[in-house]
């Protein structure tokens, strides 16, 4: 079986940023907490591969540290979405048609009805700007995505013979959900998780762009972009680099998500083999 | 036939005349902040004065661009021997924009209103020494002071001391009616304010026929608006890094002027650990002013060592008291009982001097062990929590009021400096009229606050104005917040 090309490219891009973020825990080319005004706005070159920003910090180091912030925020936000959304979806599917199902799904519809970024802005504006509140805000909007997907996918299994067999064997619906349904819908969740992860990165960048994400001195791609706005005509690389970082990371995750779907989707898999 | 020629000639001449004179009868002026209202006698916002000072409202005296105080609505005045009685002679034939006459009754009304018990004037202190205002005749007003006040003429030049009419003051917040060379026309909130030339102005009429004030808070939008020639003048251009580009562009001229803006890192003297003088001294030594001026302002700004404008003749250079010395800062922190530093909250209002300066200061403080948690605040939030609520450890702000060292005599002011000796000095100063003595007192005052390290004094804010080439008559300096368009003209 051949791996989809998009998966390879996506995984490569994602690995690049994940690797950079991981590396930043032990090493960055320069210390981003040390400012050096005389060295500011240097173009990319040998000493600073991606140049320096308006405060003389090494942009490559900032990107590495910023990747860490982006990934951490998006990962935790997706974690919240999966951690709450999947159990809710499984419960709703197990109790399909009941009042509980209605309550769960209409509650999710309610969250889904709000424009997510606007509410995220509201949450961070009310509870204060910061990475933690950004995570919570983005996380909340991931819940209905996973809850709906889980319920829909799980429902199609509840009428299958092997589930009926399990029920006849006397397993509780909770056990069936965990032992039989979850493994069967896991691939879907992984694909959706990748997509949501990329949306989380974008949301984090958007929030920090408007000053509601991680606060300085924590590096963040969105804020780097915001700070570079007035410099675009003098030192374009200061804006281009974080912009490209966001684009490449999101592109990578989307390609990987597409590739994973191709790889994991049983119907497509049958076609390929 | 000859009739026709004459007619045509006259027509062409008129056409040429109109073209030459009215080629640019209009000016688009941009500034960053929109005023919350337009009554300068009832609001503290600088943006109010920027729009209305001299354009719409005038006082008995007025500031010129160089900071000097010259006659305004009062053409002259006499001061009694003991310095207690000022007799102002008003210009005759001055009318408000609604057609009513400006006379001594209006002056008495304006000053009594400003100093009244229930006055909402933002600078009530300016009028504190006035004991009585009386009308001698329609063009003569007598102001009696409770004690001599050497700065009365200066105080009366402020935007908060302009002359208003009892008939129209009720509407001033949205429809200001003054005596100035321009009349208020229209205000589309959130976008612009239009003013138009006052045809009945008592003094030299304005050259411009109309002008529009636009409010552009975003630095990127400010850059784009100028480059696209949507605005002709931007006063207080928010992104100093773009100035070299404007200077290199033949379409623009850049005027960099000084302001009365002492930009400081204010410390909450009423709260641990900044109630300890050693800690404040440590902070002052931990800070590298030049790095902040270069990094946040791209070199615009003059270092200061106390709360006083360096272009004022009474200024004392005390920057050496708080020179950049991180080693000394660490020692002082140890002496103060914080060998490992501490963590505090730094609130930052929107201007770039604060947001960018804050990031640089945070890095400098971190280098001596002081961790700061940065909180970016919008102006409304800053005024509420930091300024009024005193809920902060450190904050950065520029105090743009002229000669405002007196704020250190108010223990309830946001940085909560409470020093009875300084307060006594300020009341002595207010009662002193002798220039030499005033200088000595002012210099002593500057020393006290610098030696007490009340705040970390960073730099005097510079104000960059970007204008289309050839526009003349703009103020370079900002001795008070004002965008005085009365003498502005196109080439």
Q: Single out the residue of B200, B209, B222 nearest to residue B101, CA to CA.
A: B200
Best residue of A216, A227, A231 to probe chain B, by most B CBs closer than 10 Å:
A216
Q: Residue B340 falls within a domain, yes or no? A: yes
B233 lies in a domain? no
According to DSSP, the residues that pair with B132 across neighbouring strands are: B144
Question: Of the given ranges (A29-38, A244-253, B280-289, B410-419), which has the lowest mean pLDDT?
Answer: A29-38
Residues B123 and B406 sit within 8 Å (Cβ to Cβ): no
Q: Residue B278's Cα: distance from chain center in Å? A: 32
Decide: residue B404, CB within 10 A, 0-12 exposed, 13-18 middle, 19+ buried: middle
Please report the DSSP string for B150-167 in residue order: TTHHHHTTSGGG----TT
Confidence of residue B10 (pLDDT cuts 50, 70, 90): very low
pLDDT at B13 over 60: no
The pLDDT, as a whole number, for residue A92 is 93
Do B128 and B263 lie in one domain? The reply is no
Residue B123, C-beta contacts closer than 8 angstroms, at least 6 positions apart: B44, B158, B160, B161, B401
Residue B118: partners with Cβ closer than 8 Å, 6 or more residues away: none
Q: Which residue has the higher pLDDT, A234 or B12?
A: A234
What SS3 string covers chain A?
CCCCHHHHHHHHHHHHHHHHHHHHCCCCCCCCCCCCHHHCCCCCCCCCCCCECCCCCEHHHHHHHHHHHHHHHHHHHHHHHHHHHHHHHHHHHHCCCCHHHHHHHHHHHHHHHCCHHHHHHHHHHHHCCCHHHHHHHHHHHHHHHHHHHHHHHHHHHHCCHHHHHHHHCCCCHHHHHHHHHHHHHHHHHHHHHHHHHHHHHHHHHHHHHCCCCCCCCCCCHHHHHHHCHHHCCCCHHHHHHHHHHHHHHHHHHHHHHHHHHHHHCHHHHHHHC
Q: How many domains does chain B have?
A: 2
Contact A35 B291 (CB under 8 A): yes
Helix and strand numbers, DSSP H then E, in chain B? 13, 17
Domain hosting residue B372, numbered range: 258-462
- pLDDT per residue as tens digits for the range B107-161: 999 999 999 988 888 888 889 889 999 999 999 999 999 988 878 999 999 999 9
Give the model's confidence band at B16: pLDDT under 50 very low, under 70 low, under 90 confident, else very high.
very low
- In a domain? residue B339: yes
Residues B274 and B133 in one domain: no
Q: Is the domain of B142 the same as that of B271?
A: no
- Does residue B482 lie within any of the structural domains? no
Q: What is the pLDDT, as a whole number, of residue A134? A: 85
Looking at the structure, tell me whether residues B153 and B286 fall in a common domain.
no
Secondary structure of residue B260 in the 3-state scheme = strand
d(CA A36, CA A30): 11
Contacts of A97 by beta carbon, 8 Å cutoff, 6+ apart? none
Cα–Cα distance measured from residue B422 to residue B448, given in angstroms and rounded to the nearest whole number: 7
Beta carbons of A37 and B366 less than 8 Å apart: no
Strands (E), B189-304: 192-197, 210-215, 233-235, 252-267, 302-303
Position A268 scores a pLDDT of 53
Residue-level pLDDT at A232 = 84
- Answer with the one of B138, B171, B204 that is the final residue of a domain: B171
Q: Using one digit for the tens of pLDDT, what is the confidence trace for B297-339? A: 999 999 999 999 998 889 999 999 999 999 999 999 999 999 9
* B304 and B400 housed in the same domain: yes
Q: Are residues B164 and B282 in the same domain?
A: no
Q: Residue B97: pLDDT above 70? A: yes
pLDDT range class, residue A267, cuts 50, 70, 90: low
**Amino acid B19: pLDDT:** 42
Report how far residue A222's alpha carbon sits from residue A204's, in angstroms, rounded to the nearest whole number.
Answer: 7
Inspect the interface and report whether the beta carbons of B295 and A129 lie closer than 8 Å: no
Mean pLDDT, to the nearest integer, of A199-220? Answer: 88
Is there a contact between A37 and B373 if contact means CB atoms under 8 Å apart?
A: no
pLDDT of residue A115: 84
Report pLDDT digits (tens) over B457-479: 999 999 999 999 999 999 999 88
Residue B381 is part of a domain; what is its CATH number?
A: 3.10.105.10
Using an 8 Å Cβ cutoff, are B101 and B163 in contact?
Answer: no
**Which domain-ending residue is among B142, B171, B200?**
B171
CB pairs under 8 A between A and B: 57
Q: Are residues B149 and B274 in the same domain?
A: no
Has residue B297 been placed in a domain?
yes
For A216, which of B242, B244, B362 is closest by C-beta distance?
B362
Q: Are residues B145 and B265 in the same domain?
A: no
Same domain assignment for residues B162 and B263: no
Are B375 and A215 within 8 A, CB to CB? Answer: yes
Taking residues B450-457, what's their average pLDDT?
Answer: 96
Contact B322, B305 (CB under 8 A): yes
Best of B218, B220, B301 to disrupt the A interface by mutation (most A CBs within 10 Å)? B220
For A147-198, the pLDDT digits (tens) are 999 999 999 888 889 988 998 998 888 999 998 999 889 888 999 999 999 9
Cα–Cα dist A14/A250, whole Å:
8
Statement: residue B225 has pLDDT above 90: yes
Please tell me whether residue B301 adopts helix, strand or coil conformation: coil
Q: Report the gap between the CA of B461 and the closest CA in chain A (Å).
A: 19
Residue B55 in domain: yes
Nearest CA of chain B to the CA of A43: how many Å? 16
The answer on B267 and B392 residing in a single domain is yes
Q: Indicate whether B380 pLDDT > 60.
A: yes
Percent of chain A whose predicted confidence (pLDDT) is above 90:
48
- Does B132 reside within a domain? yes
Q: What is the pLDDT of residues A57-95, one digit of tens each?
A: 999 999 999 999 999 999 999 999 999 999 999 999 999
Contact B127, B145 (CB under 8 A): no
State the CATH number of the domain containing residue B163. Answer: 3.90.76.10
Q: Quote the tokens at residue B464.
A: 């960059």
Residues B151 and B276 in one domain: no
Domain identity same for B289 and B409: yes
- Asked whether residue B23 is domain-assigned, the answer is no
């Amino acid at each position: 079986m051949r791996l989809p090309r998009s998966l390879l490219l996506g995984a490569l891009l994602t690995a690049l940023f994940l690797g950079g973020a991981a590396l930043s825990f032990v090493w960055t080319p320069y210390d981003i907490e040390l400012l050096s005004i005389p060295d500011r706005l240097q173009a990319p070159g040998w000493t600073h591969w991606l140049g320096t920003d308006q405060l003389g910090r090494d942009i490559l180091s900032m990107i590495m540290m910023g990747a860490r912030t982006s990934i951490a925020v998006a990962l935790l936000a997706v974690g919240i979405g999966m951690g709450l959304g999947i159990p809710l979806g499984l419960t709703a599917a197990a109790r399909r048609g009941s009042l509980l199902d209605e309550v769960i799904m209409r509650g999710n519809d309610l969250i889904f009805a709000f424009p997510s970024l606007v509410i995220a802005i509201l949450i961070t504006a009310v509870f204060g700007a910061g990475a933690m509140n950004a995570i919570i805000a983005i996380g909340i909007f991931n819940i209905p995505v996973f809850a709906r997907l889980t319920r829909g996918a799980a429902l199609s299994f509840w009428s299958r013979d092997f589930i009926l067999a399990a029920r006849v064997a006397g397993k509780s619906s909770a056990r069936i959900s965990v032992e039989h349904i979850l493994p069967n819908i896991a691939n879907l969740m992984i694909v959706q998780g990748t997509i949501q992860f990329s949306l989380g990165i974008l949301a984090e960048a958007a929030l920090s762009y408007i000053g509601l994400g991680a606060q300085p001195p924590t590096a963040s791609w969105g804020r780097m972009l915001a700070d570079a706005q007035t410099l675009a005509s003098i030192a374009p690389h200061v804006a281009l680099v974080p912009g490209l970082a966001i684009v490449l990371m999101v592109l990578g995750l989307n390609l990987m998500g597409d590739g994973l779907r191709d790889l994991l989707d049983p119907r497509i898999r049958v076609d390929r083999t | 036939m000859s009739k026709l020629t004459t007619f045509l000639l006259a027509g062409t001449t008129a056409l040429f005349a109109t073209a030459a004179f009215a080629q640019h009868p209009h000016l688009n002026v941009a500034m960053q902040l929109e005023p919350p209202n337009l009554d300068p006698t009832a609001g503290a916002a600088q943006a109010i004065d920027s729009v209305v000072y001299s354009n719409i409202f005038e006082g008995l005296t007025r500031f010129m661009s160089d900071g000097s105080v010259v006659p305004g609505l009062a053409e002259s005045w006499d001061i009694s021997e003991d310095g207690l009685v000022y007799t102002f002679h008003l210009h005759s034939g001055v009318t408000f924009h609604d057609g009513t006459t400006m006379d001594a009754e209006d002056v008495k009304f304006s000053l009594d209103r400003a100093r009244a018990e229930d006055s909402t004037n933002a600078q009530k202190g300016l009028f504190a020494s006035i004991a009585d205002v009386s009308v001698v005749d329609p063009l003569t007003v007598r102001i009696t002071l409770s004690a001599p006040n050497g700065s009365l003429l200066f105080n009366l030049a402020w935007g908060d001391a302009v002359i208003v009419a009892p008939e129209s003051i009720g509407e001033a917040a949205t429809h200001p009616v003054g005596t100035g060379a321009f009349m208020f026309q229209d205000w589309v909130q959130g976008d612009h304010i239009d003013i138009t030339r006052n045809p009945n102005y008592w003094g030299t009429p304005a050259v411009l026929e109309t002008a529009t004030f636009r409010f552009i808070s975003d630095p990127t939008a400010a850059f784009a608006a100028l480059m696209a020639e949507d605005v002709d003048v931007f006063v207080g251009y928010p992104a100093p890094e773009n100035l070299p580009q404007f200077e290199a562009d033949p379409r623009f001229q850049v005027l960099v002027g000084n302001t009365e803006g002492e930009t400081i890192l204010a410390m909450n003297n009423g709260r641990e650990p900044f109630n300890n003088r050693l800690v404040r001294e440590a902070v002052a030594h931990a800070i590298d002013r030049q790095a902040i001026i270069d990094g946040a302002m791209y070199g615009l700004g003059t270092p200061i060592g106390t709360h006083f404008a360096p272009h004022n003749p009474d200024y004392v250079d005390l920057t050496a008291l708080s020179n950049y010395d991180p080693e000394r800062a660490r020692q002082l922190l140890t002496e103060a009982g914080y060998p490992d530093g501490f963590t505090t909250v730094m609130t930052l209002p929107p201007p770039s001097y604060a947001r960018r300066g804050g990031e640089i200061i945070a890095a400098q403080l971190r280098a001596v062990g002081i961790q700061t948690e940065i909180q970016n605040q919008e102006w409304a939030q800053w005024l509420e929590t930091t300024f009024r609520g005193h809920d902060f450890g450190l904050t950065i702000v520029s105090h743009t009021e002229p000669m405002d060292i007196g704020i250190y005599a108010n223990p309830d002011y946001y940085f909560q400096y409470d020093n009875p000796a300084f307060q006594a000095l300020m009341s002595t100063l207010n009662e002193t009229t002798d220039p030499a003595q005033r200088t000595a007192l002012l210099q002593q005052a500057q020393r006290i606050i610098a030696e007490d390290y009340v705040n970390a004094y960073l730099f005097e804010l510079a104000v960059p104005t970007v204008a289309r080439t050839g526009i003349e008559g703009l103020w370079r300096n900002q001795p008070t917040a004002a965008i005085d368009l009365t003498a502005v003209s196109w080439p």
